[in-house]
Every structure is written in structure tokens, then in C-alpha cells.
Structure 1
Amino acid sequence: MQHTDKIAFLGLGRMGAPMARRLLAAGHPLTVWNRTAAKAGALAAEGAVAAARPADAVRDADVVITMLTGPDALTEVADAVLPALRAGAHWVEMSTVGPAAVHALAARLDGRATLVDAPVMGSTDRAATGRLGILAGGETEGVAHVLAHLGTVTRTGPTGSGAALKLVANTAALGGVALVAEALRLADALGLDEDTARTALAAGPLTGAVARAFAGDAHFATALAVKDLRLATGAVRLPAVRAALAQYARAAEDPALAAADLSRAAARIRTHA
């Protein structure tokens, strides 16, 4: 494959749109699709082709990239895409869907296309500047030049291993943020000064979780946190993570919080028992 591979990018949310824009700027012929068609308008104005249906987007694509909300969305898109997918294409699945969904997709492809599961670490700022951490399972050789525009690739092993590692990493991060929120609730109850307690926590083993709990320049919806932790607790018994899931799920009952960054959920966990 050459650097002018035709790419179909499906899913133009907060992460997908800047990732697709990177590929367009790199000179790839790009066709985009999103369930909410209006989100494709900005990219179309910059030179991408906006497809009305997923099948139309992938029909002539050398590389198909999906960046969707979860396993159900991936299944729905696969239903639409598979009849039109070109034999020999590469499908790069970059959503956070868990390994079971990746293996199910691989079974449906049945060797017709090469599947790489390559979920990402990082938020919208890193997506816009090509500094994502990409956890790639499967054979990446055919798409390495494409992924290089999006960030740094870490090979994780066979197909499904990228999705597995992303789920592990997200579970640790989300559990840590919930723990920080409850630690600060304890600090409040004991009458400690907030800045003193926060500084002490930030100097300890939860440094990254403290920063994420108060992040103001990132966006990871609380509803997505709920989705990820449900995937994790559905795979194995995780009592502590299930407790964190209950906290996020309670916060997500408020539609505004469900759509807001998880730092807002952390604030809610801190103030609600």
C-alpha cells in the first residue's frame, strides 16, 4: 500500500473528528460517515467526501477505521458495512469495545479483510496533534503508515489484545478517579483543607488519577466510563471496580452528567454518598 490509500473513517465524535482531520491533512483520500450527518460537514468542507451510509463510505476503501461509542454501535455498523467491504481491505477498529467484540468482528470477517484492533490512549488534544498512544493487536504492517499520523503504536500481541489492554488501562484509570473523589470526601468529613489534601494525594501513588479528577482540558463522557466499566465487570469478578461502576452509573442518571467529562462525575462522587 502507498501513502495515498483510500480511507473510510466511520464515527466523527470528539475523538474521531480530529483523528480523521489528521489523515485528511496527510493527503489520504478520505470518505467519512457519522450517524449524525451534520458532524461530517466540517470535514467535507475541508476536502473529505461525506457518505450517506456506512456501506457507501467503505465500498472503495483500502483502509476502514471505526471510532464508535461501543460494542452495539460496532455491531450495527458491521451489519451495514460487511456486504460492501472490499476483499483485501484493512479494518482498523479504534473504539473501546473490549476483546469479545473484536473477536466477534474477526469471526464475521473470516479472513476477507485484515483486522487490527487499535484503541487509543489520550484525549482530544492528543488526537488533534497526532500524539495518541495506540494499542495495536494483530498484524499492523499494512496500516503502520496510516497509524503513524495518529500517534505512537505499541504492539500488544494477537488480534483482541489491543482491546483487552485498553480495557485494563481504562478500568485502572476510572477506578483511580473514583477513589480520589472518595478520598477527598473523607478529607472533607475530617475537616481538612482541600488544597492540602489534594496536594498530598497528588504527591502519592495516585498522581495521575488526581490530575484526571480535576482535568479541565479533556473530555471523556461519564456515560463512556459506565460503558467501559460494565465491559470490565462483565469479563471477570471485580468487586472494587463494580463499586466504582455503581458510583459512575448513579452520576450518569443525570443526563447532563452522563454527557459531561468524568471530572464532573468525580465531583458528584465526592459530594454524594
Structure 2
Amino acid sequence: MKAFLGMGLLGSNFVKAMLQKGEAVQVWNRTAARAKAMEIFGAKAFENSYDAVQGADVIHVTLKDDATVDEVLATASKGFKPGAVIIDHTTTSVLGAVKRTADWKSRGFTYLHAPVFMGPPNALDSTGFMLVSGEQSVIEKHTPALAAMTGKLLNFGAEEGKAAGLKLSGNLFLLSLTAGLADSLALAKVHGISSSDLLTLFNNWNPGVGVPARLKKITEGNFNEPSWELNMARKDAGLMMDAASQASTTLTVIPAIATVMDQWIAKGHGSDDWSVIAKDSL
């Protein structure tokens, strides 16, 4: 039997998927009504977290942050079955994940951090990506169940906390991507171009396809064979900022990138590939 603590959009859909597969699941949420709402799908809801985990071999957690996870688990632990396994899907800090792994192990319980790149529809359909790292015997034991919850389970080895770090790195890229799209939309508007036209461009020319190749180029340090010279990229950034300024429009990402470009040009890298601006991140 499983318990699930945290009935937000992600957690509730994870539970619905488990129930559809015939599993017995006990649920809890700080706002009790959210847990109660899961009973129509076959879950058993509890008002107290320590009651929700009674008899559970595996306790899944999808909460807000490190502090919330620590608080909820501390309370719920009064009802933990000896040797229970805690699987935490919350996006947390690396240090938090490492500390919880050690702390719960010292108390006779297994804690495995398994953050996800999954939205609520993915949780319901068992698609998307789940990340794990840490003690490989633990991961091997729980791989079948975790793999059934997601489209692909990615095991990043024995280093505790690596999955947490990769989740944060991935989320950083998503935040940067959205900010970049906001700048693209703003610049398109300056030029009288509709968002639908911009979507047509990206539907046909998909720059996302080139992300792995670009990352490979950066990590290999291959900057002296440019596909787009830094000087030329900086010239284009200037055109973007000039157009935005003339229309009294604020760009969020490009001015910051232009500042970094200027620093690298000043160091003599103007003829290198523009991705040289990422060199110090290696």
C-alpha cells in the first residue's frame, strides 16, 4: 500500500494514475478538502499526515520546498511503518536532498529524491521525465514502480543530490526560455508582427532542435570555428535594443546578454563563435 502527501495538481494526478492501475493509495493534503476530493477516484483521505502513512510501504511526497518537506515528514513520521520508503518528487535544493537522505537513513528509513519534468497531464498519463541519483541498490529496487509513473526514468548515478541539481538546472533553462520568448514577442510587436506569425516561424524553424548540439559545442570549447561570430551576434543585439528603445519597449534578456558579449569582445574574442560567452560556465 502507498501513501501520497501533497494533493496539488501534480500529486493528485499521480494518485489518479496509481488508482487507475489498481493500487491502494492513502492521501493527505494540508488543505483537507483537496485530499477528500480524491476519494471519488478511490483514494482514502486522512486529515492528519501521520494517519495517512499508517501501514504504507512507500510514501510519495509532492510539496512546495525544503522547509515544507521537512515539516510534513517530521509530523508524518509518527505514523511511519518500520523500514518505510520515502520518495520525494518535490523540487528542492541539493543540500536539502543530501541531508534528508542521510537523516532518514540514520533513523532506519529510505529517502529517495526523484524530481520530475512533468506537468499534471504527464502525471496522469505516466509520461514525461523523472530523475534519480544516489544509492544504486535503492534505485534498482524501486525502478520498476518509478518507471511506471513516467515516460522515462533517468538515473544519474550514485552521487546524492545530483538529481536535485539537474532539476534546478533544467528549470533555469525553462525560465530563460520563457524570458527569451517574451523578448521575441516584444520585438515582434515593435515591428508590427503578430504573435501568430512568430509562432509560424518557430513551427517551421525550430531552434530547440539545436540545443544538444549547441551544448556539445560549448562543453567541447570549440569556439574558434564560428557558425555565428560574436561580433555579428553583438551587432544584431544592438539592432534589437535600438528598435525596442525607439518604441519605448523594454527587453529583459538581451541587454544582459549584450553586456556579457561586450566583455568577451573586449577580451579579444569578437571573431570567435558567439557561444564563447558561456566559456566561464564550464
What TM-score comes out, normalization by structure 2 length? 0.66
The one of 103, 115, 127 equivalent to 2:111 is 115
For structure 1, list consecutive stretches of 5 or more residues without a partner in the other structure: 1-5, 210-242, 245-273
The one of 74, 94, 111 equivalent to 2:69 is 74
Superposed counterparts of 1:8-19, under 5 Å = 8-19=3-14
Q: Deviations over 1:39-94 (max 9, x none)?
A: 12232233322122111122321101001122221121122123332332211110
Q: Distance in 1 between matches of 2:28 and 2:72?
A: 10
The aligned residue for residue 205 of structure 1 is 207
Aligned-pair identity (%): 29
Q: Distance in 2 between matches of 1:35 and 1:100?
A: 25
Q: Distance in 2 between matches of 1:49 and 1:82?
A: 19
Runs (4 or more) in structure 1 with deviation over 4 Å come to 206-209
How many residues align structurally? 206
Q: Distance in 1 between matches of 2:182 and 2:23?
A: 43
Change (3 A) 1:145 1:65: same
Q: Which has the higher contact order (CA 8 A, sep 6+)?
A: 1
Change (3 A) 1:56 1:186: same
For the aligned residue pairs, the C-alpha RMSD in angstroms reads 2.3
Q: Distance in 2 between matches of 1:208 and 1:40?
A: 42
Q: Is the 8 A contact 1:11 1:68 kept in 2?
A: yes
Q: Distance in 1 between matches of 2:69 and 2:140?
A: 23
* Secondary structure in structure 2 of the residue aligned to 1:140: helix
Q: Distance in 2 between matches of 1:39 and 1:174?
A: 29
The aligned residue for residue 98 of structure 1 is 93
For structure 2, list consecutive stretches of 5 or more residues without a partner in the other structure: 212-251, 254-282
Change (3 A) 1:201 1:12: same
Q: Distance in 1 between matches of 2:210 and 2:52?
A: 39
Q: Is the 8 A contact 1:58 1:84 kept in 2?
A: yes
Q: Deviations over 1:131-177 (max 9, x none)?
A: 13111123322322321331121112233222211111111011111
Q: Distance in 2 between matches of 1:201 and 1:15?
A: 29
The aligned residue for residue 184 of structure 1 is 185
Q: Distance in 2 between matches of 1:15 and 1:9?
A: 11
Say if 2:175 is the partner of 1:174: yes
Q: Is the 8 A contact 1:90 1:142 kept in 2?
A: no
Q: Is the 8 A contact 2:116 2:129 kept in 1?
A: yes
* Secondary structure in structure 1 of the residue aligned to 2:192: coil
Q: Is the 8 A contact 1:115 1:159 kept in 2?
A: no
